[in-house]
């Protein structure tokens, strides 16, 4: 509908304006709805065009493979956590037993058997105790070395050199004074 057509029919300018506004009230919402549907159609067609040549079965297989890999990684991470916790508990037990070299002691332990053990803490301590009996050089002694000083004479602090001080200490040990 055009203004010129209405004017040609003999309508006045006010009548043409009224008809056009009423016509616009009905047509404009329909045009907006039409434009919305057209936009949706264009978007859907563009999406379909982008999906041309895509093999859905191949995508599903890739998703399955990636899911399997992710589960494998979860298992691997859990194993690493378990190994770390085990190694930490072994090292703590070695420190408690006054071990001199953790690597040397761990090399002598049957680590795989201890990992598989249901009661790891007790089995680790038992293995370290047995190792301590067989290889005591790997562990520090807990007994203190007695100080050798005679209660009767003591060391002569007036000795001039280290050699003389050593001789004094030996004399004091043997109980022979000057």
Q: Which residues of the chain have pLDDT under 50?
A: 159
Q: Please tell me the distance from the alpha carbon of residue 38 to that of residue 58, in angstroms, as a whole number.
A: 32
pLDDT tens readout for residues 61-80: 999 999 999 988 988 999 99
Our CA dihedral for 115, 118, 122, 126, rounded to 10 degrees, sits at -60
pLDDT at 56: 83
Predicted confidence at residue 159, as pLDDT, reads 44
Helix/strand/coil for 86 = helix
Per domain, the residue ranges of the chain are: 3-43, 68-138
Q: What is the number of residues in the chain?
A: 178
Judge contact between 89 and 121, C-beta under 8 A.
yes
Tokens 């378990």 sit on residue: 82
Contacts 24+ apart (CB under 8 A), 107-113: 108/135, 108/138
Model pLDDT, residue 65: 92
């Amino acid at each position: 509908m055009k203004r010129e057509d209405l004017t040609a029919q003999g309508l006045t300018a006010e009548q043409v304006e009224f008809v056009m506004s009423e016509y616009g009230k009905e047509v404009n919402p329909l045009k907006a709805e039409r434009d919305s549907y057209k936009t949706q159609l264009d978007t859907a067609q563009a999406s379909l065009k982008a999906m041309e040549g895509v093999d859905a079965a191949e995508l599903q297989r890739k998703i399955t493979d990636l899911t399997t890999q992710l589960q494998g990684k979860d298992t691997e991470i859990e194993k690493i956590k378990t190994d770390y916790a085990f190694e930490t508990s072994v090292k703590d037990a070695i420190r408690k037993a006054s071990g001199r070299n953790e690597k040397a002691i761990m090399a002598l332990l049957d680590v795989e058997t201890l990992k598989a053990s249901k009661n790891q803490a007790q089995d680790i301590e038992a293995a370290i105790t047995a190792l301590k009996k067989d290889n005591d050089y790997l562990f520090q002694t807990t007994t203190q070395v007695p100080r050798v000083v005679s209660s009767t004479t003591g060391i002569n602090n007036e000795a001039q050199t280290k050699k003389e001080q050593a001789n004094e200490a030996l004399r004091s040990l043997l109980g022979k004074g000057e």
